[in-house]
Amino acid sequence: MTPGPEPDRAPSALVALVTGASSGIGQATVRKLASRGALVAAVARREERLADLAGELAAKNQSVLALPADITDEKQGRGAISRVIDEFGRLDVLVNNAGVMLLGPFDSSPADDWRRMLSLNLSALMHLTQEAVPHLRSAAAAGPRGVADLVNVGSVAGRIARGGSAVYNATKFGVGAFSEALRQELAPDGVRVCCVEPGAVATELLTHVDETVRERMLAGAYRDIRPVGAEDIAATIDFVVHLDPGAAINEVLIRPARQGF
């Protein structure tokens, strides 16, 4: 584990945990929240990238607690939550961002790809959330803001199903449904739940897709689309969790301006 420098433990500082923090939306969200003075735990498998991120932010007098973990392992997920509580005393914000997108025709798709997407995009998100909910409730009840925030990063693929992404669609539709059901359960306790649903984003996610499928996508529906930056999604998440405690944004769909699907 590679913790950042000793953070400012002022009770009013927002305490957040972000998964998938070694790249893309997760990394941008860590940067954005840390720039606002939050105490941020960055969770991902790639330890070197987390260490680099912690070093980068330390140079700006911002702090990140780097927590290398594979959250598809329930024990490691629980350990990440426990470490945050041990270090900072509470958890105000959980951003479930980690995910993988493996596309292609369903009839020829490897079952291992299904398992990877179901395990990370949905099961791990649920397990980590279940572990975090008691702490989010406590933060809402006793923390300085009177609310806590759970942000699940879904996708436009959780609203619109398209051929070639059947299992990915299933996981992201699941994230949307899970988020809405949990919103209803947790709202009376002051825990705000938001599902942020990006369209095309400039991250490494597309590099996980089979090369032939990726080339077909880039030559087809995605040909004239300029993806939004990961920083745009991070700014959206930052806005959601810093909203006045009396209001809640429950769902945000954010696409590139020229994305028609």
What residues act catalytically?
168
- 178-185: long-range pairs with CB below 8 Å, 24+: 178/122, 178/125, 178/126, 178/152, 179/152, 179/154, 179/250, 179/251, 180/250, 180/251, 182/129, 182/150, 183/250
Contact (CB, 8 A) for 70 and 98: no
Consecutive H or E run containing 164: none
- Listed in sequence order, the residues at least 6 apart from 135 whose beta carbon sits closer than 8 Å to its beta carbon are 81, 85, 90, 91
> Closest Cα to residue 227, out of 209, 212, 205, 249?
205
In angstroms, the CA 52 to CA 43 distance is: 13
Residue 215: phi, psi to the nearest 5?
A: -65, -40
In angstroms, the CA 116 to CA 102 distance is: 9
Written as six digits, the tokens of 251 are 């769902």
Written as six digits, the tokens of 142 are 């006793």
